[in-house]
Structure 1
Amino acid sequence: MKLQTLARTGLLSGLLLISGHSFAAEESSYDRISFAVSAEKEVENDVLTATLFASQTGQNTNELADTVNKDISWAMDIAQQENKIENRTLGYTTNPVYKNGRVDGWQVRQNIELKSKDSKVLSGMLGQLQQKLRVQSIAYSISTEVRQATEESLISEALASFKNRAAQVQANMERSEYRVVRLDIQTGGNFPQPMFRGARAEGMMMADAAPTAPNLNAGKQKVKVSVNAQIELSAN
């Protein structure tokens, strides 16, 4: 019985010794290096988004709402006739107007959003709709398909830079090989770029002649891909 116990104890001790030695050898065989590389490209903005609003201020909320509803319906009927423009209605609000700390009237307001890849068509539409609506903001962005295609190209470029950097580190450290421990790919860019933001209308909107259609210039913005990596170098 004692011999069996001693044998088991010796076997267990041997396994622990071998396991501990292997783990220590594995841990001490590599040096870890962290670094980052990136690739970026300027891309033409190809989507224009405009927000317009109808607003009325006065005492009778029913009359105000009726006028705003008619103006928005009029604008949407016109916008929906152009198949190159996406359109949708946005928030609808009724807010009190204060004077000397007291409610002096009401303001009813609703927004619509127009989006298009054809700046000339949308510019003409804005000029037409400003007969009854006002422009709140105009912004350019990159379409989903252009952004995805650009990112795919930049990912390949960034990964090639990663391989070159890893090989450079390996060669300069005079190691025979390396292995990848961690590789994170991050994309960025494509934030809408505001071109125009109109003042908030506080009074009654005037039914005067429509302003001249805005002159729109898309411009460019950067799309960037970053690679954060960690590699392990062999011991020799």
Structure 2
Amino acid sequence: MKRLLTALLLLLPLATIAHEESKDHYDRVNLSASATGRVDNDTIVATLYAQAEGSQAAALADEVNKRINWGVQQLKKYQKIKVQTQSYNTYPIYTKSNITGWRVRQSFRMESQDMALVSNLLGDLQSKLALENVSFSVSPEQRNSAENTLIEEALAAFETRAKLIAKSLGRSNYVIAKINVNTSGGNHYPQPHAMMRMSSMSESVAAPQMQAGESSLTVNVSGEIEVE
């Protein structure tokens, strides 16, 4: 009798735990929602380069250096423009497996939110440099502002779906067990420009036509809810 009582006492906590687990049981559902918006591109990025070909590598390097230095100095006059020099390359030119000359090339990148200023400067810079590409993007400040609005919209859409799921399952309530927020979009794509021989550049070129366009930003919200 004493052994039977001990066994029953040992089983009692297990039965209590099982009852509590049954009472607190939730069905888990994974769901997602998103919000997308279009934002005006407010930043322009242009890449220009100097290139020279000939038989004397040192003379070619000197020519390229002078053109790049000239371009960088022109842009340093403007606080609204960021300038960054990029790759510097010297390539051999082959004819029937023999080196018959050299090609020297260097480029720099300019970035600004003053698109009218950049457009006008590009016309002047192309008198000695070649325009490789132009691209447009959304500035970090404008992106953050737009994403904050989209986050609110995506979370509201997530909540609407969660309520719909709970109601459709005939449940009275739900709780969010896990949630993730991710942003994407806003990529900018270069607009290529035809390469021009450096020797043909001696006069100022008309300013290129610029259309910044828009970027698409998306906020994705995914997570897991527990419905009672």
The TM-score, its normalising length taken from structure 1, stands at: 0.87
Give the partner amino acid of 2:192: R
Match of 1:156 among 152, 157, 177: 152
Distance 2:14 2:195 in 1: 75
Identity of aligned residues (%): 34
Deviation at 1:22, TM superposition (A): 4.0
5+ unaligned residues in a row in structure 1: which ranges?
none
For 1:9-48, list aligned pairs within 5 A.
14-19=12-17, 22-23=20-21, 25=22, 29-48=25-44
Task: Report how many residues are paired.
Answer: 226
Question: Is the CA contact (8 Å cut-off) linking 1:55 and 1:205 kept in structure 2?
Answer: no
5+ unaligned residues in a row in structure 2: which ranges?
none
Distance 2:194 2:124 in 1: 19
Aligned residue in 1 for 2:206: 212
Question: Is the CA contact (8 Å cut-off) linking 2:26 and 2:227 kept in structure 1?
Answer: yes
Aligned residue in 2 for 1:122: 118
Distance 1:22 1:99 in 2: 85
Aligned residue in 2 for 1:78: 74
Match of 2:170 among 168, 174, 181: 174
Determine whether 1:183 maps to 2:149.
no
Tell me the secondary structure at the aligned position of residue 84 of structure 1.
Answer: coil
Q: Provide, for residues 163-197 of structure 1, a one-character-per-residue CA deviation record: whole Å limited to 9, x for no partner.
A: 11111211222211111122111101110132x21
Give the partner amino acid of 1:101: S
Match of 2:193 among 198, 201, 206: 198
RMSD: 2.2
Match of 1:52 among 38, 48, 51: 48
Deviation at 1:229, TM superposition (A): 2.1
Distance 1:20 1:58 in 2: 86
The TM-score, its normalising length taken from structure 2, stands at: 0.90
Distance 1:42 1:157 in 2: 14
Determine whether 1:223 maps to 2:220.
no
Distance 1:163 1:67 in 2: 63
